[in-house]
Structure 1
Amino acid sequence: MTPRSRRRIRWRPRSTTDVLGAAAVVLALTVALAQAASRLATKATKAWPLLALAGLVCAVALVGLRIRNQYRHRADSARLAHLRFTLPELDAMGDQDFEYALRDLLVRDGWSAKKVGQGGDQAADVIGVRLPLGRIVVQAKHTRVGGKVGSSVMYQVKGTAGPVHGADHAVVVTNGTFTRDAMAWGDRHGVRWVDRDRLNRWAHEGKALHELLGLPARNTRLPWRRTA
């Protein structure tokens, strides 16, 4: 035996009464929806002063926040414009505070800078941007007083500054000193260095880093840039 085919159930009006009943249901639903919409419109009309007041309060609050942020930015800029660190203050810092201090000094000099130093930072503790000078990568080496930074740091910075971080300028900064080989190697390969004496001129005397090091504009061809 073959299974019986399923029958589709279709509603068809059998009389004029069915048609009128269906029309009445549709009409009732339409009237109910219209009444609900009317009630909502009436409530919105009555509540518009409150809605307008709430909007005005939000607008005033936003303007107030913007003004406060502007004053805060001006205050921070004024504070940073006179930012100074003495060598004893820098010597007393830990590694992280030393990196934050270098970031603030770059901001003082007009760079948009941020601290990025952490595990696996690939020889970049602070990165900054300033037109038309371009992008700078700073490697911080905080040492005990009298400590020296060797050539290996220069090798590492040169290997990552351009290829990894897209730097136009690479700088190693220490509160100590550099070995002769490190300074000579850095000078030959475009890795600039800031030793204790230069750090004092930058941080304490207020000399801008890019002026202190004579950083060129970004269109200068760098040793690690590929040429066509």
Structure 2
Amino acid sequence: MGRKRLRLRRPRGAAEVLSAVVVALAVLVLAVRMTAAAVEALKIAWPFLLALISLVGATVAWRIARSVQARRDDAERLATLRITLAEFDAMDDRQFEHALRDLLVRDGWPARRVGGGGDQAADVIGDHTQRGRIVVQAKHTRVGGKVGSSVMYAVKGTAGPAHRADHAVVVTNGTFTRDAMTWGDRHSVLWVDRDKLRRWAENGTALHELLGLSARSRRSRFKRAA
């Protein structure tokens, strides 16, 4: 059986009407008193509430201002970024990759570091609205270290198919073997050795100027060859 619905009935007789009026008046008086108490409490507490709201607002404004200033500072730092060969030599692999990313950003390539396990021969990827996508393989070596042809083969094999690159570059603070440079030139894998790195990072020459990547090379020979 379903539950019986509770139904209110109208008061019957003078006694019930009077009782209903008394209850209604009591509820009304209680509501008025509660409202008055709330108003009094608000009068007492409003200075504290105002102070709390002001503190929260000031904190939020300070954090926003600090974030904006931090972005401005980063932009100014990157715009004039210079890194010496001695500083590169003192870096570890991860620091080297981050430094190359910052240099790309300085040159107008929004870039990100992607190096790590399974990076498919790409440590930094940058995208330029006019010059396309560049994939950088970073090879940090000890002073006098040389990068061989096997690195060029790996970059050639993944830059186009895996990363949809328009340009593939291998960058080292050391040098390349003659075979690596010859193979890279023949197969459109660009290379930046110690001398080019100095011109790029220390002297301030933009990478696309250093490597001859004009805006018209949006679909580069590397892309076509891949």
TM band (smaller chain) = 0.7 to 0.9
Q: Which residue of 2 aligns with 1:182?
A: 180
The change in CA–CA distance for 1:173 and 1:7 in structure 2 (over 3 A counts) is: closer
Cα deviation code 1:83-103 (max 9, x no counterpart) = 333323322322122212212
Task: Report the TM-score, using the length of structure 1 for normalisation.
Answer: 0.73
Decide which structure has greater helix share.
Answer: 2
Q: In the TM superposition, what is the alpha-carbon distance from 1:181 to its structure 2 partner? A: 3.5
Q: How many residues were matched structurally?
A: 221
Q: 2:218 aligns with which of 184, 206, 220?
A: 220
Tell me the secondary structure at the aligned position of residue 133 of structure 2: strand
- Residue among 12, 17, 22 paired with 1:16: 12
Q: Which runs of 5+ in 2 are unaligned?
A: none
Amino acid at match of 2:208: H
Superposed, 1:4-43 pairs within 5 Å as 6=1, 8-9=3-4, 11=6, 16=12, 36=34, 39-40=37-38, 43=41
Q: State the alpha-carbon separation in 1 of the partners of residues 40 and 83 from structure 2.
A: 66
Question: Secondary structure of 2:122's match?
Answer: coil
Give the fraction of aligned pairs with identical amino acids, expressed as a percent: 58
Question: 1:24: how far off?
Answer: 7.1
Whether contact under 8 Å (1:141, 1:175) holds in the other structure is yes
| Distance (whole Å) between structure 2 residues aligned to residue 70 and residue 97 of structure 1 | 25
TM-fit CA distance, 1:212? 0.8
- Which of 107, 110, 113 is 1:115 aligned to? 113
Which segments of 5 or more consecutive residues in structure 1 lack a partner in the other structure? 1-5
RMSD: 3.6
1:191 is matched with 189
SS in 1 for 2:150: helix
Residue deviations 1:65-123 (CA, integer Å, cap 9, x gap) = 33333443343334334433332332232212221221222233233333221111121
Query: Residues 32, 163 of structure 1: CA spacing in aligned structure 2 closer, same or farther, 3 A cutoff?
Result: farther
Q: Output the CA distance in 2 between the equivalents of 1:26 and 1:189.
A: 93
Q: Which amino acid aligns with 2:116?
A: Q
CA distance in 2, matches of 1:56, 1:35: 31
